[in-house]
Chain A
Amino acid sequence: MKLLILLVIVLAIIAIAQLTKVYELSRSLRKNKEEEISAADNKLNANLMLVWMFLFFVGTVFLYVRYGDYLPLSASAHGVDVDQLMKVNIWLITIVFFIVNFFLYFFAWKYQYKKGRKARFFAHDNRLEMLWTLVPGVVLAFIIVYGLITWNKITGPASADALQIELYSRQFDWTARYPGENKTFGAANYNLISTSNPLGLVTPDGIRAKMDELDAQIENIEHQLEENKMMPLLPESYVATLEDKVSRLKRHKQRISDLDENSVNGLSTWEAGNDDRLVKGEMHIPVNKEVELIFRSQDVIHSAYLPHFRSQMNCVPGVATRLKMTPTVTTEEMRKITGNDSFNYILLCNKVCGAAHFNMQMKVVVESEADYNAWVAKQKMFKAPEVKEASDTTLANEPKKDTVATAMGN
């Protein structure tokens, strides 16, 4: 492959060198001639218009034939409508593409310069102009109406008995959360995120654990500051950073104590999360059942792209976004359809989110409801972070390192 590039580059350089020669030659030949496009040049370019048009059209047809079946049939119910709409639109624009480009290149060739001929003085024609305002208008009206009918069909609130799954995104992985037997998600808040609680689920124990952790950090820094007062060794700017850190941690505590407990489906949102199931790297969904996906993001904007289901939705920090779909083809069935035994549905990140953006993916498995239920039952339940005793030595030491590192990092 490298050889090929090298070859291409060498050829390009030779071509340029040759052309420069031609240029010098032609310049010396026509030194004092009025710059006029020669008849031969004009004819050559006119003919090239046709040659190019031919190549362009053949290339287009080739690409359609070779790559036209760009995705296997839609694996979701609404995707069938989307595909139909796409097909109609592609046909329409392809026809227009060929017609308009044909007339453009054909006229360019046909009406090439002929000595002594005078062009036709044709400045405007109201009927023609009306025609090509109205015809695109009508066609576009059709496209708009058809498009919006489909759009209204595939958007809107999910039905009440839809299965809810939360997709939680962060640099650079996905976590699926299932609401568990109580069919209710526990509340989640970014202030409670920690290594043992990656989604920040709100539980009374989790709050206490986080508060203790923050207290320990605050105490730690204040201790450092106290020592420094007696024996000032730390640089002033670092002291300021530490003081800032303390006030940040205190505000963090404040935000946690402001959290409200709500009740959904007769359950406290602080209790409902105890049977939530968190799965990393893989999402299972039952076939032929409406699913409502709820998207959240921990850090930056991501986008959950499910090309085989014709679905996509951004994941925005601070806002939960939603999407409904009904998978209709199981992974097994799709493997048969595509003739590919290792086929898997996939979820990709489709909003640039950092260095490993190109590999932020998750396997999606569509299976029968029974298989799905069995799989979910096997997944680990959420476990609230344990509240440790304040005297616990590991707690006292660990945040210390952590705090200093973050403070210095800032």
Chain B
Amino acid sequence: MEATDNMHAQDHGHHHHKESFISKYVFSMDHKMISKQFLITAIVMGIVAVMLSIFFRLQLGWPGEKFQILNAFLGDKWAPDGILDRNAYLAMVTIHGTIMVFFVLTGGLSGTFANLLIPLQIGARDMASGFLNMLSYWFFAVSSVIMLASLFVEGGAASGGWTIYPPLSALPQAMPGSGMGMTLWLISMVLFVASSLLGGLNYVVTIINLRTKGMKMTRLPLTVWALFVTAILGILSFPVLVSAVVLLLMDRSMGTAFYLSDIYIQGEALDVTGGSPLLYQHLFWFLGHPEVYIVLLPALGISSEVISTNSRKPIFGYKAMIGSILAIGFLSFIVWGHHMYITGMNPFLGSVFVFTTLLIAIPSAVKAFNYITTLWQGNVRFTPAMLFSVGLVSTFVTGGLTGIILADSALDVNVHDTYFVVAHFHIVMGMSAIFGMLAGVYHWFPKMYGRMLNTKLGYAHFWLTLVCGFGVFFPMHFVGMAGAPRRYYSFSEFEFLDWVMDLNPYISIFAIVGGAAQILFLVNFFHSIFYGQKASQNPWQSNTLEWTTPVQHIHGNWPGALPEVHRWAYDYSNPEHEEDFVPQVVPLKPGEHAH
């Protein structure tokens, strides 16, 4: 390993030539540039997903009202007279979910921060394979473009919900969205999985092999631990999704019947027998549930780092935090059946899933309590990143608790597929992961662009987002418990829901304001890239290695030899030191105990 280090160092010394625009900004193999590419792509995808959600919230808040803005954006076919078309509504819901889960919170979150932080925080010159890393981004970019393109095809984008259950998604006769749009969705997802696998393998290999001298696994920052376990989850579960998706493609275009049997549709008894629609659900959720933690763990890892740094305190229970990340990672593979309690699955099998699912609450609770204890007797500095991290703990707890209801099969029966579920996962997974991602952007922006984001705009952004986020999703619990199913175009046909539907306009207003609040972030982000205040080398007085690199990015990250690590990442306010932080590169004092 040392030999490679030297080689890299020499490499750096001897070939310091000017790079072309293409190799620097487009087909870059530098992990820092790839990280920025992931982030910007995710931001673009995020803007689309938020706009789609505002379109369908307009319909849900004021069903049947005419909004010229819908017509302006969507045209006469999808929003004739400014009223959202029923099929277009389902397409918006589907693509909103797909983009948010996969493109923003998987590709965007892991892609950005795994790329940025893994080499910088473990003390490596770059990822193990820069080439695979570049491929990973470009698969992601192409799959993003295909997903967006699917919005513009005949029949509209995929419309069966982001879980695209067959037979609905397998039969073009079943709905317009199961035509070309669905095919593109599937192709896009295959490329997306390729991207995730290339990225994930790279992350794992890099963390195992390229840690600098002294960087034991037990000295890794929790961000790296979280990204490590996330990558392993992805490597083990995404191939199952790709199988599910490819089998579905075959059912659609090659006459196979993996998921189809005994179907009569549009006046025709289909020539397919022997398949099982439930097989798809098993395969999908075998990825689908680990996916929740693929989305969540990086956010939790980022928050561990941000909360510890800004509380000026070591993260409480470092080893317990690692243990709970591992426990959550392991358990996430044996809980997928809780999405299928009411599919006719054997009730005994259901009870096994009840048991495993509720077990996850234990490591999750440990994490939440450890965050709160980290704040206790700290010296809390409210940077925007810190605010978002505190917000994350709140959403993680609030949303996690309703998971207890959903995990309990007997209770799930009555709230399954209702707005209660929508509320649950948007808070625990949507808001938490977005908050973690934003915390990461605010915290590491100086590392990415060498400039600072504006703090005041960050504050406004946080408070508006927090209030609007809860304003949108918290009331949905009650809408769901009253029996309102999700993915309904309108609830005007059901008298028994009228009384609770008066919440819907308020939810939509919060959604619109919350969406608009993101403009603050966009302005701040893009303005600061060029005009932000110049960052100092270690603006947050943090311990981790990335803050020992020069502000101006260079290939190979450190100008001279790689730094050597002497202590863990959380020596904040260590009583044996004058300063309230002790970077990992500072050698132990004589007689000082390593933590």
Contact = CB atoms under 8 A, between A and B. Distances in A.
Given A16-B520, A133-B362, A122 B414 contact: no
A351 B163 CA distance: 11
A298 B101 CA distance: 31
Contact of A312 (B266, B413, B481): B413
Given A255-B273, A352-B161, A312 B405 contact: no
Interface string A123-134: 111001100110
Contacts of A236: none
Given A35-B539, A119-B573, A357-B489, A128 B373 contact: yes
B362 A136 contact: yes
Interface in A74-120: 79, 81-82, 85-86, 89-90, 92-93, 96-97, 100-101, 103-105, 107-108, 111-114, 117-120
A122 B313 contact: yes
Interface stretch (B27-35, B242-250, B491-499, B546-554): B491-499
Nearest to B482: A70
Interface in B456-506: 456-457, 459-460, 463, 466-467, 470, 474-475, 477-478, 481-483, 485, 487-491, 493-496, 500, 503, 505
Nearest to A118: B573
A107 B167 contact: no
A10 B454 CA distance: 24
Nearest to A256: B269
Contacts of A385: none
Nearest to A33: B533
Most buried by B among A147, A255, A356: A147
B316 interface: yes
Contacts of A191: 269
Given A140-B359, A147-B410, A193-B264, A1 B65 contact: yes
B573 A37 contact: no
Contacts of A82: 410-411, 413-414
A5 B516 CA distance: 12
B262 A317 contact: yes
A318 B277 contact: yes
Interface stretch (B11-19, B220-228, B290-298, B393-401): B393-401
B323 to A, nearest CB: 9
A73 interface: no
A45 B458 CA distance: 11
B168 A305 contact: no
A216 interface: no
Given A136-B361, A147-B410, A406 B347 contact: no
A8 interface: yes
A302 to B, nearest CB: 10
A104 B365 contact: no
Contacts of B264: 190, 193, 200, 298-299
B350 A312 contact: no
B263 A30 contact: no
A354 interface: yes
A240 interface: no
B533 A27 contact: yes
Given A123-B595, A128-B373, A23 B316 contact: no
A355 interface: yes
A289 interface: no
Contacts of B470: 56, 59
Contacts of A79: 414
Interface string A327-355: 00000000000000011101011111111
Contacts of A103: 372
Contact of A119 (B313, B489, B512): B313
B71 interface: no
A136 B401 CA distance: 12
Interface string A251-284: 1100100000000000000000000000000000
A162 interface: no
A48 interface: yes
Interface in A13-48: 13, 16, 19-20, 22-23, 26-27, 30-31, 34-35, 37, 41-42, 44-46, 48
Contact of A37 (B267, B382, B463): B382
A56 B266 CA distance: 50
B519 interface: yes
A129 B366 contact: yes
A12 interface: yes
A112 B380 contact: yes
A45 to B, nearest CB: 4
Interface in B363-382: 365-366, 368-373, 375-382
Given A19-B456, A361-B493, A86 B411 contact: yes
Given A1-B62, A361-B493, A100 B397 contact: yes
Contact of B320 (A27, A129, A300, A314): A129
A63 B481 CA distance: 12
B108 to A, nearest CB: 24
Nearest to B535: A35
Interface in B334-349: 342-344, 347
Contact of B474 (A59, A68, A86, A251): A59
B237 to A, nearest CB: 23
A4 interface: yes
Nearest to B281: A301
A321 B346 CA distance: 10
* Chain A contact residues: helix, strand, loop or mixed: helix
Contacts of A356: 86
Interface string B238-279: 000000000000000000000011111111110101011110
Most buried by A among B372, B488, B517: B372
Interface in A197-243: 200
Nearest to B417: A350
A303 interface: yes
Contacts of B129: none
B410 A8 contact: no
Nearest to B524: A23
A355 B410 contact: no
Contact of B466 (A52, A114, A301, A313): A52
A377 interface: no
Contacts of A402: 267
Given A100-B397, A144-B358, A171-B174, A305 B485 contact: yes
A359 B371 CA distance: 45
Given A299-B265, A354-B168, 18 more contacts: A26-B454, A42-B380, A42-B382, A68-B478, A86-B414, A89-B411, A90-B405, A101-B398, A104-B393, A108-B390, A301-B165, A305-B417, A318-B273, A318-B275, A318-B277, A354-B175, A355-B176, A357-B489
13 contacts: A5-B509, A19-B457, A42-B381, A49-B390, A55-B467, A113-B382, A119-B311, A151-B350, A189-B262, A298-B265, A300-B174, A312-B413, A322-B344
Of all A-B residue pairs in the complex, the 5 with the closest CB atoms, nearest first, are A307-B483, A318-B261, A321-B344, A155-B347, A67-B478
Interface of B: 62, 65, 67, 86-87, 90, 160-161, 165, 167-168, 171, 174-176, 260-269, 271, 273, 275-278, 311-320, 342-344, 347, 350-351, 354-355, 358-359, 361-362, 365-366, 368-373, 375-383, 387, 390, 393-394, 397-398, 401-402, 404-405, 408-411, 413-414, 416-418, 452, 454-457, 459-460, 463, 466-467, 470, 474-475, 477-478, 481-483, 485, 487-491, 493-496, 500, 503, 505, 509, 512-513, 516-517, 519-520, 523-524, 533, 535-536, 539, 570, 572-575, 580, 595
Interface of A: 1-2, 4-5, 8-9, 12-13, 16, 19-20, 22-23, 26-27, 30-31, 34-35, 37, 41-42, 44-46, 48-49, 52, 55-56, 59-60, 63, 67-68, 70-71, 79, 81-82, 85-86, 89-90, 92-93, 96-97, 100-101, 103-105, 107-108, 111-114, 117-125, 128-129, 132-133, 136-137, 140, 143-144, 147-148, 150-152, 154-156, 171, 189-191, 193, 200, 248, 251-252, 255, 298-301, 303, 305, 307-308, 310-314, 316-319, 321-322, 342-344, 346, 348-359, 361, 402, 406, 409
